Amino acid sequence: MAYMESHGLKRARPAELVPGTVSVITARMDYLPRSTPEGWQALESDRLSRPQEGIVSVYARGRDYHKVLRARLQKLSDRIATELGPLGYRVFTDSAPVLEAELAARSGQGWRGKHTLVLNREAGSMFFLGEIYVDRALPPTAPTSGHCGSCSACIDVCPTQAIIAPQRLDARRCISYLTIEHAGPIPLEFRPLIANRIYGCDDCQLACPWNKFAQRSALPDFDERRGLSGQQLGTLFSWTEDEFLRYTEGGPIRRIGHERWLRNVAVAMGNALRAGEDADIRLALQQRAEDPSALVREHVAWALGI
């Protein structure tokens, strides 16, 4: 997580990042797919009881939110400029040098839950955040109060104990970080705990009582793409690089690349085999035992228990 250090003060002081910034407009956008059924939290949690199925985090099953949010923030900025006259601005979403959750909390989008994500009373935590840095002084909105109370469901449910204290996350232990941001081998101690999660992890959000208020997106962009939920690990592992690029085109998963994808799926397949012998999974793993990537070979060997 070297980017945390490398951006230094730019993270804490918006004007260091974009000179001339006087105010930051924060925004949030709900992302539950439009067809999300009632009781979705329990349905999502049930996926863990089917070890041969790969679990992709809910937010990652549709279009890449970076593109959607950026385009919308850009449009909003243009409209503001039309109203106010010339405006210096820059839009961000999920950008390393921006302390996004903190800006959102300070501007009243919600409070930081014990899992560190921003929680809103009317929307839970299933939303993306974005910011517009502007060179105009705007009246600040007030922060909201916290409403976690004595709940600790997210801390208790976290499979890797990544939430080391309320509002303190050890990203190196977090399955979201390990399966998405982390580039090298997945540390051995975490592999069994990852179970069948192959891209991200929603468990702390699924456990959170506030997510009964999570909202469906108004846009089709975050609807689930075919093949990214309820899919068998063997199928996901059989994708060639071309197929991986095709099936993930325009989506956030594409960013991790085929090699990291295979690494993640291999870990899940190893966990499926440990849960019960499965000839198809074993065969699929054996077929990649000589994969050109050393990273993939090592995870396949681990999965096969070699």
List active site positions.
Answer: 94
Round to whole Å and give the CA distance between 294 and 201. Answer: 25
Q: What SS3 state is found at 136?
A: coil
Question: Which lies closer to ligand SF4 via its Cβ, residue 64 or residue 203?
Answer: 203
User: Any contact of residue 191 with ligand SF4 (CB under 6 A)?
Assistant: no
Of 210, 237, 239, 244, which lies in the binding site for ligand SF4, with binding defined by CB under 6 A? 210
| 290: Cβ contacts below 8 Å, ≥ 6 apart | 297
User: Any contact of residue 233 with ligand SF4 (CB under 6 A)?
Assistant: no
Instruction: Kindly state the number of chain residues that form the binding site for ligand SF4, as judged by CB under 6 A.
Output: 25
Question: Which lies closer to ligand SF4 via its Cβ, residue 105 or residue 175?
Answer: 175
> Can you read off the two tokens belonging to residue 131?
């910011």
Q: Could you count the other beta carbons within 10 Å of the beta carbon of residue 124?
A: 24
Report in angstroms the alpha-carbon separations of 297 from 82, 104, 136: 56, 42, 54
Question: Which lies closer to ligand SF4 via its Cβ, residue 112 or residue 225?
Answer: 112
**Considering the complex, what minimum distance in angstroms separates the CB of residue 50 from ligand SF4?**
18
User: Any contact of residue 267 with ligand SF4 (CB under 6 A)?
Assistant: no
Q: What SS3 state is found at 67?
A: helix
User: Any contact of residue 162 with ligand SF4 (CB under 6 A)?
Assistant: yes
User: Any contact of residue 118 with ligand SF4 (CB under 6 A)?
Assistant: no
Question: Which lies closer to ligand SF4 via its Cβ, residue 17 or residue 256?
Answer: 256
User: Any contact of residue 237 with ligand SF4 (CB under 6 A)?
Assistant: no
User: Any contact of residue 158 with ligand SF4 (CB under 6 A)?
Assistant: yes
Q: What SS3 state is found at 164?
A: strand
- CA angle 294–240–236, rounded 5-degree value: 90
**Considering the complex, what minimum distance in angstroms separates the CB of residue 282 from ligand SF4?**
27
Backbone angles phi, psi at 93, to 5 degrees: -150, 130
Round to whole Å and give the CA distance between 284 and 130. Answer: 41
Question: Which lies closer to ligand SF4 via its Cβ, residue 114 or residue 288?
Answer: 114
Q: Which residues pair with 252 in a beta bridge?
A: none
Of 110, 113, 252, 270, which lies in the binding site for ligand SF4, with binding defined by CB under 6 A? 113
Round to whole Å and give the CA distance between 211 and 250. Answer: 27
Q: Which residue is nearest to ligand SF4 (CB)?
A: 113
Residues in touch with ligand SF4 (CB under 6 A): 113-115, 119, 148, 151-154, 158-160, 162-163, 169, 174-176, 201, 203-204, 207-210
